[in-house]
Amino acid sequence: MAAIVVHGGAGGWERKDVEDVKEVLKEAVLKGFDLLREGRPVDACEEAIKVLEDSGLFNAGRGSVRNSEGKVEMDASIMVSDGRAGAVGAVRGVRNPISLARKVMERTDHTLIVGEGAERLGCAEPIEGREGTGDTVGCVVTDGKIVVAGTSTGGVKGKAPGRVGDSAVIGSGTYASDLGGASATGDGDRIMKVCLSYFVVNLINLGLSPMKACLAGVDLLERRTGGRGGVIALNLKGEVGFAYNTRAMPVAYRNSGTERVLFSGLDVE
């Protein structure tokens, strides 16, 4: 079954933003779902994330936070269930880091390229920034045959220049196998210590539902590292999962069985 799930980061939300956030998440889901129907799952994942990066509402693309020197440095990654993967770390002046990650996957022999080397792969239109109130963004899609997962972020506010987080690390921020995919968000320096997305996808491979796998992933993150964060996932059947231990984690999803886009994780006091 075709399915798509997106997240807008595990963190805190201002109540005033909720309607705007829902609208942008819905736009991302619908755009991705249309591309899935056209048989273009990699485009579906990339384009859904681009909608979120371009919105300026999230800590990704246009809305990225600044590091300790006031500069924007972004991370992103994408992985396809056939084993292809690409990622970029600490890139500056790039409008859509997720597209750059896809370029690493499709046009180089490498998996992760950071800084200037990645920027030189080129992705037109430098970014004109504004700090979003939201968080990292991510997406997982399946057309019932392959799974694609992606993640994009401005990282942690005030981070050291050159710091690269989980969103650029295949297995931590993003992972896809033949049977499922996941995208994580939250305290990346801790998420990397439990390889959160790989852990969740592995549980799906072993037969757990995506929901149970996500709950187990967040539990592991909290128990082993004390970290705060969240993760979304889906399996080849189009079943969706999400879990977080932060105040909120906006999630929107749709599969061929649901007529409309469904939301979760937006209930903030």
Question: Which residues, in sequence order, are CB contacts of 70 under 8 Å at separation 6+?
Answer: none
Nearer CB in complex with ligand ASP: 184/208: 184
Active site residues: 136
Interface residue with ligand ASP among 1, 18, 146, 156 (CB under 6 A) is 156
Task: Tell me how far, at minimum, the Cβ of 167 lies from ligand ASP, in Å.
Answer: 5
Identify residues 159-218 at the interface with ligand ASP (CB under 6 A). Answer: 165-167, 185-186, 188
Phi, psi of 214 (to 5 degrees): -65, -40
For 259: left if phi > 0, alpha if psi spans -120 to 50, otherwise beta; the answer is: alpha
Query: Any contact of residue 136 with ligand ASP (CB under 6 A)?
Result: yes
Nearer CB in complex with ligand ASP: 67/255: 67
DSSP SS3 for 218: helix
Nearer CB in complex with ligand ASP: 169/208: 169
Identify residues 32-61 at the interface with ligand ASP (CB under 6 A). Answer: 59
Q: From CA 154, how far away is CA 141, in angstroms rounded?
A: 22
Task: Tell me how far, at minimum, the Cβ of 201 lies from ligand ASP, in Å.
Answer: 17
Cα separations in angstroms, 102 against 50, 62, 171, 222, 255: 12, 18, 16, 31, 24
The contact set with ligand ASP (CB under 6 A) reads 9, 11, 59, 75, 135-136, 153, 155-156, 165-167, 185-186, 188
